[in-house]
Structure 1
Amino acid sequence: MLQLEGLTRRFGANTAVDGVSLSVPAGQMVGVIGRSGAGKSTLLRMVNRLTEPSSGRVIHDGTEVTALRGQELRDWRTDCAMIFQQFNLVQRLDVLTNVLVGRLNHRRGFGATLGTLFKRFSAAERAMALSALARFDLAEQALQRADTLSGGQQQRVAIARALMQQPKLILADEPIASLDPRNAQVVMEALRDVNRRDGITVLCNLHHLETARHYCDRIVAMQKGRVMFDGTPAALTAARIRDIYGVSEDEFDTAPEMTAPALTPAREAALPA
């Protein structure tokens, strides 16, 4: 069980996430929707502590994640894999090595890290990585450089890398925002397969309502940092969208909400907590 209790993040005078409380049972696939600037990405980044909360708590299976430090925090980030919009692959490395990077935190000490740099992964780890790639129809691309792949292929490599962490939870931050409709469908089917077959909890930020309705068990709609809806896909009707956002479904999907300028990691680090 993942629990968020009054989770808040402020950037100076701007409140990006405002007192969010949610309980997510193990094995659920949750779509977090909202127009640009609603606080979706900040919310996910607080769950794995890439962004520190200004207040509130994250608890997973009785452990207070917001109190973790050092190796315990690194272990949590292994249990809580993250998939990014821009894939975050090492483009000059081959696909197989990118997937094997998911094993890094399962190694301890300088020798293990040095071995990883020289690609001295075990036979069992290589077999595990190849199996993950085959699962997503990418085995034939294992020895290609990551930058030779399409966007959809790169995102599936990122999912395979996440699986190598053997996580309990996957956070997917706009995983299909930069993909064409066909590749978006393939990536969402891969995430749903991981959720259903492996029983891994998935929290996925999405812009498009129909995608969230089709793939997710539950939808959380955010606006200006707050949860405005939390329920089943069937309950998020066109009328409910208009009540929350004041726009039609088509307008929701295409018209960005006016917000403060995007925060770069460097600018975020300079702001007060």
Structure 2
Amino acid sequence: MLELRGLTRRFGAVTAVNDVKLFIPDGQMVGVIGRSGAGKSTLLRMINRLTEPSAGQVIYGGRDITALRGAELRRWRTDCAMIFQQFNLVQRLDVLTNVLVGRLNHRPGLMGTVTSLLKMFTARERAMALAALDRFDLAEVALQRADTLSGGQQQRVAICRALLQEPRLMLADEPIASLDPRNAKTVMDALRQVNREDGITVLTNLHHLTTARQYCDRIVAMQAGRVMFDGTPAELTAARVQEIYGVTEDEFEDQAQEAVSPAARPGLRTQPGLAVA
């Protein structure tokens, strides 16, 4: 079980995440929704310890994750895989090598880094990577450079890389923000497949209510750093959305779209159709 106890993050005078308390059983798929600036990404980054909490604790399996340092922290980041909005692939490398990078934390110290950079992977690791790619219909592009793939393909490659970590928990930080509806669906299908078939707990940040309702067992709605709702998709009614955000569902969706449009966020590699914070 993942437990967040009063998790808080301040940036100067701004409180990005404010006293969040959550209990997430193993195997759930949880969608975290909210406008841009609601604290969703900061929340996930604190769980992975990419951002340090100002207060509170992250507890997993009875262990205080916020107290981990050094090798123990690296092991946690192996157990808790992270998928980013902009894929974080090495564009000049082939797809197979990008996936194999997921084995990096299973190799000790500097030697592990060197052997990974030199592509000195074992036959077992290569078989694992090819099996992951085949599972998500990517085996045929294994030897292509990552920058030749579509956004949806690149994000599925990132999911394959995360799976090679053999994680217990997967955090997806705005995984479909820069994707069109068709590619967004393939990515969300892949995340749900990982959750259902592998039993991996998935926490994913989303802006679209329809996507969260379709794919997630549970929805957490954030506003101004606080959790304003925590329940099933059916319980997040139109009236509840109006109460939390002061707008209708349609207005909420429109605001989300505007927040990530190319005009609103210059330089973002966005394809029209879906929006995420």
- After TM superposition, the score normalised by the length of structure 1 is 0.93
State the AA in 1 paired with 2:146.
Answer: A
State the AA in 1 paired with 2:127.
Answer: A
Q: Distance in 1 between matches of 2:33 and 2:115?
A: 41
**2:59 aligned counterpart, secondary structure:** strand
**1:255 aligned counterpart, secondary structure:** helix
Q: Distance in 2 between matches of 1:253 and 1:176?
A: 15
**2:230 aligned counterpart, secondary structure:** strand
Structure with greater contact order relative to length (CA < 8 Å, sep ≥ 6): 1
Q: Deviations 1:89-114 (Å, cap 9, x if unpaired)? A: 00000000000000000011333322
Q: Deviations 1:50-79 (Å, cap 9, x if unpaired)? A: 000000000000110000000000000000
**1:4 aligned counterpart, secondary structure:** strand
Q: Distance in 2 between matches of 1:104 and 1:34?
A: 33
**2:167 aligned counterpart, secondary structure:** coil
Specify every segment of 5 or more residues in structure 2 that has no aligned partner in the other structure, as ranges: 260-264, 266-277
Specify every segment of 5 or more residues in structure 1 that has no aligned partner in the other structure, as ranges: 263-273
Q: Distance in 1 between matches of 2:201 and 2:66?
A: 19
Q: Distance in 2 between matches of 1:80 and 1:253?
A: 30
Q: Which residue of 2 aligns with 1:199?
A: 199
Q: Which residue of 2 aligns with 1:220?
A: 220
Q: Which residue of 1 aligns with 2:131?
A: 131
Q: Distance in 1 between matches of 2:41 and 2:241?
A: 20
**2:179 aligned counterpart, secondary structure:** coil
State the AA in 1 paired with 2:32.
Answer: V
Q: Which residue of 1 aligns with 2:183?
A: 183
- Establish whether residue 150 from structure 1 lines up as the match of residue 146 from structure 2: no
State the AA in 2 paired with 1:81.
Answer: A
Q: 1:255, CA displacement in angstroms? A: 1.1
1:5-154 pair list within 5 angstroms: 5-154=5-154
Q: Which residue of 2 aligns with 1:240?
A: 240
Q: What is the total number of aligned residue pairs between the two structures?
A: 259
Q: Distance in 2 between matches of 1:155 and 1:38?
A: 24
- After TM superposition, the score normalised by the length of structure 2 is 0.92
Q: Distance in 1 between matches of 2:112 and 2:247?
A: 53
Q: 1:83, CA displacement in angstroms? A: 0.3
Q: Distance in 1 between matches of 2:204 and 2:117?
A: 31
Q: Distance in 2 between matches of 1:41 and 1:81?
A: 14
Query: What CA RMSD, in Å, does the superposition of the two structures yield over aligned residues?
Result: 1.2
Q: 1:116, CA displacement in angstroms? A: 1.4
**Runs in 1 of length 4+ with deviation above 4 angstroms?**
none
Q: Distance in 1 between matches of 2:73 and 2:83?
A: 18
